[in-house]
A and B are shown apart, each in its own frame.
Chain A
Amino acid sequence: MFSFLRRKKEEVNSPLWLKCEKCKSLLFKGELEKNMWVCPKCSYHFKISVKERLYHLFDNHEYELLDENLVSVDPLNFVDTKPYKQRLEEAKKKTSFNEAIINAVGYINGNKVYLSCFNFDFMGGSMGSVVGEKLTRNIERAAKDKIPFICICASGGARMQEGMLSLMQMAKVSAALTKLEDAQTPYIAVLTHPTMGGVSASIAFLGDVILAEPGALIGFAGPRVIEQTIRQKLPEGFQTAEFLLKHGLIDEVVDRRHLKETLTKYIENLKYSL
């Protein structure tokens, strides 16, 4: 699923070494890990796990997970080449997470935040009932406590296996965000590779501030669908974070190594302070 969204499999010749996608340098994995999976030579952003991302983001690497008790059911009894239930089980095993998003609360340079983070490894970060409900609950908390909300996006879109229930989550989370308006509380969206479809057209683009990681693919329609529709090749760099910045669609492209400091500046300037 969403194979076009996945970056080419890293050519792993050794468990210790990795070749950079962009500059082709041979990189020591341990060093990459310390560098938040950003190539020290050319700043290419490799995929980073949710755990590592949160580890780097929160003060003292501490945070509390919320809503872990929400789990997906199979409301449509959906079967394609595999039953949906089996896909869920496999995703759980593969990621050791129980859904495609986690909710957390913690501090970023002393500022309390409610944070949701998509997990692309879990069924392409697709948004079904649980993802929609978890986002809604975290937004509601942020609104109630007047604490900034942050969402780190990475998703292929709505979860097809839950049909229209998934599509309606777009409306649900968008409606939930209106509560932050009443609470005079900011929402910062961080778009990472890839952010597409129904997630892009709801939670992702409703950020009061929208940040994106370098090189991330971000858009409504996938590049392949667009190419098939208009029957022409897409320009180089189309739908990348840099392309979006140039066209006035996002606020800033932020190197992952500076994300924490950048978020801090926005939070401290915008949060409810009384």
Chain B
Amino acid sequence: MNFYDIEKKIDKIEEKLKILKEREDIDKEKIKLIEEKFKRKIEKFYSSLTPYQKVLLARHPNRPKFLDYVNALFKDFVELKGDRFSGDCQAIVCGFGKLYIEKEILDFLKDKIKYPCLNKEKGYLQVCLIGQERGKTTKEKIKRNFGMPNPQGYRKALRVMKLAEKLGKPILTFIDTPGAFPGIEAEKHSQSEAIARNLYEMAKLKVPIIALVIGEGGSGGALGIGVANVILMLENSVYSVISPEGCSAILFKSQDKVEEAAKALKLTAQDLYNLGIIDEIIKEPLGGAHRHKEELFKNVKEVLIKYLKNLLIMEPEEVKKLRYKKYRNIGKFEEIS
């Protein structure tokens, strides 16, 4: 059965249960039993998703997008636009926002923090936010180029990240893209150079960087804002060297080997955690990030603050060194004598 069909079915049952619960003439205990049985079934279904079903979930139209996180987790977001050379790509949104923190965290950071980004009186951290935005409505999707950045987007991101470095603000990047845009203008402005430059410069930034994959991490286009001290993934997000569709076509020589390709690529958060590429998986509400958003945002904020807290008490040089070491050690090979 198709993945989206199952989701529709779940919606229907949830609705029916709601109606049943409102009726006076039915035994409440009985409904509770049905509900529990139903919940177990969904749990079982979602815990046994195939990698390709996870890809579909990661691309789910209702899944929270970058700007939803900006609105839910940060206050007074200011957006900076344009790369100052040739344009503004709206598939990448950049700016700064306030992240309010609990008193306990504030007390911890107060004397140890190495970056001028903590407002002690009001209790918030100033953070740089960089994210890929796919949009939700058709109009928005077109405006956002379906989350596929042009070189101008990567260059804008670099400009803003360098500003964050100058001002001593930590950087949070949110990854959600099918990939960098493949187009004539994109090549003329050197998509390759734009991404490569970001990889190089991000390796040198003297402020903490945390990257979070919230949906689809599409290859080099995702990595272009993804070099970080800490790499996090949502439970049902994916991150891959190539889309399962592309892999199916190129390696499996067929359009319909997407399930096999997705499985072979080891692109789920669980796979990448086991490979040692990511640092932590953030739990999603049952049924995916789009079903109980408050719970999701709470989980995300908690994990982000946990890592920020650790990174913000490290010297800038140390943060840079640790990031270098992290990437220096990625790779699996053999040394024969």
Contacts and interface: CB of A to CB of B under 8 A. Distances in A.
Interface of A: 1-2, 69-73, 75-76, 78-81, 129-130, 132-133, 136, 158-172, 174-178, 197-198, 200-206, 218-222, 225-226, 229-230, 234-235, 238-239, 244, 247, 249
Contact of B199 (A71, A133, A175): A175
A164 B272 contact: yes
A81 B49 CA distance: 24
Interface string B218-230: 0110011011000
A176 B227 CA distance: 13
B264 interface: yes
A1 B28 CA distance: 61
Given A76-B266, A168-B331, A226-B183, A81 B241 contact: no
Contacts of A175: 199-200, 203, 227, 323-324, 327-328
B42 interface: no
Given A69-B337, A172-B330, A219-B187, A167 B219 contact: yes
A165 B332 CA distance: 8
Contacts of A73: 332-334
Contacts of B331: 129-130, 132-133, 165, 168-169, 172
Given A163-B275, A204-B196, A220-B182, 15 more contacts: A80-B264, A163-B240, A163-B265, A164-B241, A164-B266, A169-B331, A170-B199, A171-B327, A171-B330, A174-B196, A175-B324, A206-B196, A220-B192, A221-B180, A247-B189
Interface in B50-71: none
A40 B223 CA distance: 43
Contacts of A172: 327-328, 330-331
Contacts of A203: 196
A114 to B, nearest CB: 18
B152 interface: no
27 contacts: A70-B333, A73-B333, A75-B275, A78-B264, A80-B251, A158-B242, A160-B242, A160-B251, A160-B265, A163-B265, A163-B266, A165-B330, A165-B331, A166-B241, A172-B331, A174-B199, A175-B200, A175-B203, A200-B192, A200-B196, A201-B192, A201-B199, A205-B197, A220-B190, A221-B183, A221-B186, A226-B187
B250 interface: yes
B170 to A, nearest CB: 19
Given A78-B264, A172-B331, A201 B220 contact: yes
Interface in B156-211: 180-184, 186-193, 195-197, 199-200, 203-204
B239 A164 contact: yes
A198 to B, nearest CB: 5
B202 to A, nearest CB: 8
B305 to A, nearest CB: 25
Interface string B125-159: 00000000000000000000000000000000000
A1 to B, nearest CB: 6
Contact of A133 (B191, B192, B252, B333): B333
Contacts of A80: 247, 251-252, 260-261, 264
A165 B275 contact: yes
B233 to A, nearest CB: 11
Contacts of A200: 192, 196
Contacts of B183: 221, 226, 229-230
Contacts of A235: 184
B328 A239 contact: no
B223 A167 contact: yes
Given A175-B324, A205-B192, A219-B187, A169 B220 contact: no
Nearest to B325: A175
B303 interface: no
B17 interface: no
A205 B333 contact: no
A163 to B, nearest CB: 5
A200 B220 CA distance: 10
B201 to A, nearest CB: 9
B327 A168 contact: yes
Contacts of B200: 174-175, 177-178, 206
A197 B218 CA distance: 13
B335 interface: yes
Contacts of A244: 190
Nearest to A206: B196
A220 B186 contact: yes
Nearest to B220: A201
A103 to B, nearest CB: 14
Interface in B220-271: 220, 223-224, 226-227, 239-242, 247, 250-253, 260-261, 264-267
B277 interface: yes
B182 A160 contact: no
Contact of B203 (A158, A162, A171, A198): A171
B192 A219 contact: yes
B336 interface: yes
